């Protein structure tokens, strides 16, 4: 299996622009997680899905963030409008049970 795939790997955008991050989980995994990692706050869970259904979005920082999972093989995390404080590495992870999450390579987002 190719593992969790994320795109783009790097994104540089200007404040106010819309940013869309994409994730393809490992085939057969029922759970998909979106995390954000910064030096100051570490790895934070933003939202997770089970069988394509959002279960907990309490970690989404504000209404500018939204996430969708239209099918079992694709998810997006959108930021609109983006702000400099959104600069971070965004990870997608998937698992078939709650014990072992496989992380994608991450998307490094820089908002200027």
Partner 1 sequence: QKEVEQNSGPLSVPEGAIASLNCTYSDRGSQSFFWYRQYSGKSPELIMFIYSNGDKEDGRFTAQLNKASQYVSLLIRDSQPSDSATYLCAGERDTDKLIFGTGTRLQVFP
Given candidates 5, 13, 22, 45, which one binds partner 1 under the rule CB under 8 A?
A: 45
What is the rounded distance in angstroms from the CA atom of residue 30 to the CA atom of residue 26? 9
50 binds partner 1 (CB under 8 A): yes
CB closer to partner 1 out of 14 and 56: 56
What is the rounded distance in angstroms from the CA atom of residue 81 to the CA atom of residue 20? 11
36 Cβ neighbours under 8 A, 6+ residues apart: 43, 44, 46, 88, 89, 90, 91
Q: How far is the CB of 98 from partner 1 (least distance, A)?
A: 5
What is the rounded distance in angstroms from the CA atom of residue 29 to the CA atom of residue 17? 32
74 binds partner 1 (CB under 8 A): no
106 binds partner 1 (CB under 8 A): yes
Where does this chain bind partner 1 (CB under 8 A)? 31, 41-45, 48, 50, 55-56, 91, 98-106
């Amino acid at each position: 299996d190719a593992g969790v795939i994320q795109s783009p790997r790097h994104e540089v955008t200007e404040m106010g622009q819309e940013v869309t991050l994409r994730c393809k989980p490992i085939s057969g995994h029922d759970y998909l997680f979106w995390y954000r990692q910064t030096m100051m706050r570490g790895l934070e869970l933003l939202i997770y899905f089970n069988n394509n259904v959002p279960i907990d979005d309490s970690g989404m920082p504000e209404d500018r963030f939204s996430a969708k999972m239209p099918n079992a093989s694709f998810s997006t995390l959108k930021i609109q409008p983006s702000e400099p404080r959104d600069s971070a590495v965004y990870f997608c992870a998937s698992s078939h049970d709650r014990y072992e999450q496989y992380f994608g390579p991450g998307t490094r987002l820089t908002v200027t």
